[in-house]
Amino acid sequence: MSELERLKLLTSQMHLEPSGGDECPKLSSRKEDSIYTSHATLPNGKHISLLKTLLTSVCERDCFYCPFRQGRDFRRATFRPDEFAKVFMYMHKAGMVEGIFLSSGVINGGIYTQDQILATAEILRRKHTYQGYLHLKVMPGAQKAQVEQAMLLADRVSVNLEAPNTQRLKQLAPHKEFTEELLKPLHWAEQIRKEKSPHKAWKGTWPSTVTQFVVGGADESDLELLSTTEKLHRQMGLTRAYFSRFNPISDTPLENKSPTPLERQNRLYQASFLIRDYGFTLEEMPFEGEGNLLLEVDPKLAWAQRNLTGQPIEINSAPRHLLLRIPGIGPKGVETIIKARRQSKLRDLSQLTKLGVMARKAAPYILLDGVQPAHQLSLF
């Protein structure tokens, strides 16, 4: 099989794997019979084109949701590390892609597979002196020294937990060990960041770590997913969690399970950002009886409806942490409001609009110089 054909096969399902920036990722559609590329936003805000691929689509594991699980009948492909590095560098030099996200099916165990990923990264960095963005996947069962090696070479490393706890993972991937194979590498990454000097690391700083959950595949609640995410942020320095809604794949044990609505994935992103960036606690999230968020209303608005109705916040004097709680006002909006109100009092919704705030959304929950602005009552 030619290198081009292999790359088409290896990237063919990678649109299912998010790896982008801070916004809720939108899974782009892909053209059949093409090499799939996507986009990522780097921590410095730069957008780059990304080659998301596997080194091999052969896998000895049998995760219930995965198109690459062993025994599933489809055409598979494999690259050797040196071959793959050459192909990627060709694409990179031709301006087709600026960065790479490298994962793999598991062959001969997690340790051997991780070695193949690391060998590819070494060749890219040392032989081809590749300076660009490199996101490496840590395989289930990889060793601590391999996690450290990945962190010395990459801009970002990921360990996909897939489910929020041991019990739920059993429903998705009965042969993956939640604590030993998946949680431990995330813990090691944080240990390495805290205990070892980053001076040998790529660009002199340790890379960020991220994880991914398959949402709805194990009938888990939003509370379970967000509770694990919150702990990972707090205890293991996780930069972000990706929430990928479950979509059934033919010829897998979960092929007859219903797909998870896209709205659920989006609500989880919104809630996780509220906890990570807006000062909300897990307990404040507006969960319903079953531990799930409402699909129809974004969680910040649902919180405001419960907590700010009848108690509007004065825009001209509220501290930063209270401004952040108002629907329609994000971290940037808070900063512009604080700057603007030092110059003069804000008395009109149009002034907020000019500052980049979603003034109509904020209107029911604010006072402008002691006066509640006129707003249309919500139908619901």
Nearest approach, Cβ of 179 to ligand SF4 (angstroms)? 17
Q: With CB under 6 A as the contact rule, which of the stretches 7-15, 62-70, 194-202, 353-361 interacts with ligand SF4? A: 62-70
Distance separating alpha carbons of residues 169 and 177, to the nearest angstrom: 8
Radius of gyration of the chain, Cα coordinates, nearest whole angstrom: 23
Per CB under 6 A, the segment of 63-71, 192-200, 278-286, 294-302 that binds ligand SF4 is 63-71
Residue with tokens 């709805």: 216
CA-CA-CA-CA dihedral for 136, 141, 143, 144, to nearest 10: 70
66 binds ligand SF4 (CB under 6 A): yes
Q: Are 271 and 299 in contact (CB under 8 A)?
A: yes
- Considering only 57-65, 236-244, 342-350, 366-374, which stretch makes contact with ligand SF4 by CB under 6 A? 57-65
**Residue 204 DSSP symbol:** G
Rounded to the nearest whole angstrom, what is the least distance from the CB of residue 134 to ligand SF4 in the complex? 20
- DSSP lists the bridge partners of residue 40 as 48
Residues 357/324, Cβ–Cβ less than 8 Å = no
Q: Tell me which of 36, 68, 130, 243 binds ligand SF4, using CB under 6 A.
A: 68
Give me the 202-241 binding string for ligand SF4, x by CB under 6 A, dash otherwise: ----------------------------------------
CA atoms within 13 A on the CB side of 33: 0
Query: Does 267 sit near ligand SF4 (CB under 6 A)?
Result: no
**Contact, 243 vs 269, CB < 8 A?**
yes
x/- string (CB under 6 A) for ligand SF4, residues 162-201? -----------x----------------------------
Task: Report the distance separating Cα 139 and Cα 121, nearest Å.
Answer: 14
- How far is Cα of residue 314 from the mean position of the Cα atoms in its chain? 34
- To the nearest whole angstrom, how small is the minimum distance from the Cβ of residue 172 to ligand SF4? 9
Q: Give me the least distance between CB of 28 and ligand SF4, in Å please.
A: 21
Strand stretches in the chain, DSSP E: 37-41, 47-54, 99-103, 133-137, 156-158, 208-215, 240-245, 313-314, 366-367
In the bound state with ligand SF4, the residue whose beta carbon lies nearer, of 167 and 317, is 167
**63 near ligand SF4, rule: CB under 6 A:** yes
> Roughly what angle, to the nearest 10 degrees, separates helices 262-277 and 222-236?
30
Size of interface with ligand SF4, in residues (CB under 6 A): 9
Structure tokens at 292: 């799930």
Both structure tokens of 277: 């960036």
Rounded to an integer, what distance in angstroms lies between the CA atom of residue 367 and that of residue 380? 22
Q: Which is nearer to ligand SF4, 106 or 118 (CB)?
A: 106
Binding mask 97-116 for ligand SF4 (x = CB under 6 A): --------xx----------
Q: Is 10 an interacting residue with respect to ligand SF4 (CB under 6 A)?
A: no
Looking at beta carbons only, is 66 or 355 nearer to ligand SF4? 66
- What is the spatial distance between Cα 192 and Cα 201, in angstroms, rounded to a whole number? 11
Which part of the chain contacts ligand SF4 (CB under 6 A), choosing from 2-10, 22-30, 56-64, 194-202? 56-64
CB of 332 to ligand SF4, least distance (A): 37
* Angle between helical axes of 144-153 and 184-195 (0-180°, round to 10): 60
Binding of ligand SF4 by 136 (CB under 6 A): no
What residues line the site for ligand SF4 (CB under 6 A)? 59, 61, 63, 66, 68-69, 105-106, 173
